[in-house]
């Protein structure tokens, strides 16, 4: 396996989930592996300014505001408004734990980490910050992405943020405009509204999160509006003007929105500048993303790309699996892409959204005879006990074979609950059946019991 004419069998650029997945898979497969990281600590955007800090802040906001709404605390005269700095305080400790844990993975597997910017010199060598070239038989580009910034917006203005810089916001605004209603925009709209901030959510499309099932889209739209979020669809930016007392967003429709601060959450760009791609003949698309094939190979077959730098689905969970898949392809262990067709969505709004498989819209367009089973969370004992009664579980299944075709969940713990349905959907043939849910005993009271309730509800519709 090891080719001694090179310094390493694999050199990975980037230590986020995609780079880590590839490095660990190949190191355990007997390859000599090294990685490069330009940031001062490993973990990539996921650990330092994306998934981990944003979800940690979300948890701090949700748990704190829920506690402060407790009538017992009000009765005791506890009525406080936490600052963003106070809510963020625990985030750095969590990031530190993640870095320490991930550092141990590289140490245990004898994978050296080169600190600095890696640039391709030619197809088999890279230089770190201009130092002596390092050669490798294979490469994995896992450099991630960053928020797309329009040229005419001043992101140096203290009231204009993107999804990387918003986590450093020092003063809690009374109102916030979020431009872009994709996953990031909707998550932050929900998060900041929970803090009591007035939120304007500007959507460039006709509806929120169009890739979701229509019923889930309707549910999250209703609950955001019910919480006080103002949503404007089919809008496009004309200009953004930062002023001393706020930010003015001029829309092409003629509308003007002025708020204390603005969060730009419309699109991301792959981190492909300064990689020396011109030296190896790779050309990114207009968003800086690298085209790949089904094995994550670029136009140069021994150079792979994984994670956000290749574009959709731009999920930390998917990036890790993509990295492992690329590693297994190098090792000759797999010729597929490790079940990357059934990646679940996990959207951390309040309440959460998660789904896997087909939507009703897709099944109807494909003329597949399906039926629907639903469980409303308000009817579950566990939800009644915890007070988290908003939400539902929805099962889509073939009305003749009873094969589970899609699972859609909206409510507390949705991103955890979804994996039960994902597991049942994974095998082909008879094992994938609605009968699993009605023949299996679920703990009571639990949220997972929703599967039994939804299955019985759906099967009762058959005739």
What whole-number distance in Å separates Cα of residue 264 and Cα of residue 320? 27
21 annotated to bind ligand? no
110 assigned ligand-binding residue: no
Q: Where are the extended beta strands (E) located within 142-207? A: 145-147, 160-162, 175-179, 198-202
Give the CA distances from residue 277 to residues 22, 184, 303, 335, in Å, rounded to whole numbers and listed in that order: 20, 29, 11, 26
Query: Among the residues of 332-399, which ranges form H helices?
Result: 360-365, 381-386
Tell me: is residue 182 an annotated ligand-binding position. yes
Q: In the numeric block, which tokens belong to residue 37? A: 């990281």
Q: Both tokens of residue 139? A: 């490469």
Virtual CA dihedral for 227, 230, 233, 238, nearest 10 degrees? -150
- Is 308 part of any known ligand binding site? yes
51-68 and 91-108 helices cross at what angle (nearest 10)? 140
Q: What is the dihedral of CA 80, 84, 89, 92, to 10 degrees?
A: 160
Of 147, 159, 172, nearest to 61 (Cα)? Answer: 172
Q: Secondary structure of the chain: what % helix, strand, coil (to 5)?
A: 35, 25, 40
C-alpha count within 13 angstroms, C-beta hemisphere, residue 306: 32
Annotation-wise, does 185 bind a ligand? yes
CA torsion sign for 364, 368, 373, 377 is negative
- For residues 38 and 133, give the distance between their C-alpha atoms in angstroms, rounded to a whole number: 16
**Residue 307 known to bind ligand:** no
Phi and psi based region of residue 355 (left: phi greater than 0; alpha: psi -120 to 50; beta: remaining): beta
Give the C-alpha distances (Å, rounded to integers) separating 242 from 159, 170, 245, 249, 260. Answer: 7, 17, 8, 9, 10
186 is in an annotated binding site: yes
Q: Is 145 annotated as a binding residue?
A: yes
Is 184 part of any known ligand binding site? Answer: yes
Q: Is 29 annotated as a binding residue?
A: no
Annotated binding site for NAD(+): 180-187, 267
**Known binding site for FAD: residues?**
55, 143-145, 308
Per the annotation, binding residues are: 55, 143-145, 180-187, 267, 308
């Amino acid at each position: 396996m090891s080719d001694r004419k090179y310094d390493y069998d694999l050199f990975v650029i980037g230590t986020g989930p995609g780079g880590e997945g590839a490095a660990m898979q190949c190191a355990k497969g007997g390859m000599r592996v090294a990685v490069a990281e330009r940031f001062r600590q490993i973990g990539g955007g996921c650990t330092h300014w994306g998934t981990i800090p944003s979800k940690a802040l979300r948890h701090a906001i949700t748990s704190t505001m829920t506690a402060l709404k407790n009538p017992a605390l009000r009765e005791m005269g506890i009525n406080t408004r936490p600052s963003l700095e106070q809510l963020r305080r625990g985030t750095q400790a969590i990031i530190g734990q993640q870095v320490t844990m991930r550092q141990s993975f590289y140490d245990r597997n004898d994978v050296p980490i080169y600190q600095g910017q890696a640039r391709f010199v030619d197809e088999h060598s890279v230089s770190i910050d201009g130092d002596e070239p390092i050669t490798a038989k294979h490469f994995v580009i896992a450099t991630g992405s960053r928020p797309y910034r329009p040229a005419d917006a001043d992101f140096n203005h203290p009231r204009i943020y993107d999804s990387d810089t918003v986590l450093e916001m020092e003063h809690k605004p009374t109102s916030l405009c979020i431009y872009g209603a994709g996953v990031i925009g909707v998550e932050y709209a929900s998060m900041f509204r929970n803090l009591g901030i007035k939120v304007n959510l500007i959507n460039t499309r006709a509806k929120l999160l169009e890739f979701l099932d229509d019923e889930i889209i309707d549910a999250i739209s209703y609950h955001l509006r019910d919480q006080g979020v103002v949503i404007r669809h089919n809008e496009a930016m004309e200009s953004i003007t930062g002023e001393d007392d706020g930010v003015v967003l001029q829309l092409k429709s003629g509308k003007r929105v002025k708020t204390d601060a603005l969060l730009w959450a419309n699109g991301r760009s792959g981190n492909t500048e300064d990689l020396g791609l011109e030296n190896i003949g790779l050309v990114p698309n207009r968003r800086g993303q690298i085209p790949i094939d089904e094995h994550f190979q670029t136009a140069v077959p021994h150079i792979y790309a994984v994670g956000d730098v290749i574009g959709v689905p731009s999920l930390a969970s998917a990036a890790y699996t993509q990295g492992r898949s690329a590693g297994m392809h190098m090792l000759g262990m797999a010729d597929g892409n490790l079940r990357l067709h059934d990646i679940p969505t996990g959207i951390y709004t309040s309440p959460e959204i998660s789904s896997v498989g087909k939507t009703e819209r897709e099944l109807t367009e494909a003329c597949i005879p399906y039926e629907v089973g639903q469980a409303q969370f308000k009817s579950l004992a566990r939800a009644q006990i915890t007070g988290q009664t908003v939400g539902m579980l929805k099962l889509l299944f073939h009305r003749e074979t009873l094969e589970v075709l899609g699972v859609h969940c909206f409510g507390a713990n949705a991103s955890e609950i979804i994996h039960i349905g994902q597991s049942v959907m994974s095998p082909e043939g008879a094992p994938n059946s609605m009968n699993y849910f009605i023949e299996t005993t679920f703990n009571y009271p639990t949220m997972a019991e929703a599967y039994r309730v939804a299955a019985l509800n759906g099967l009762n519709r058959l005739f």
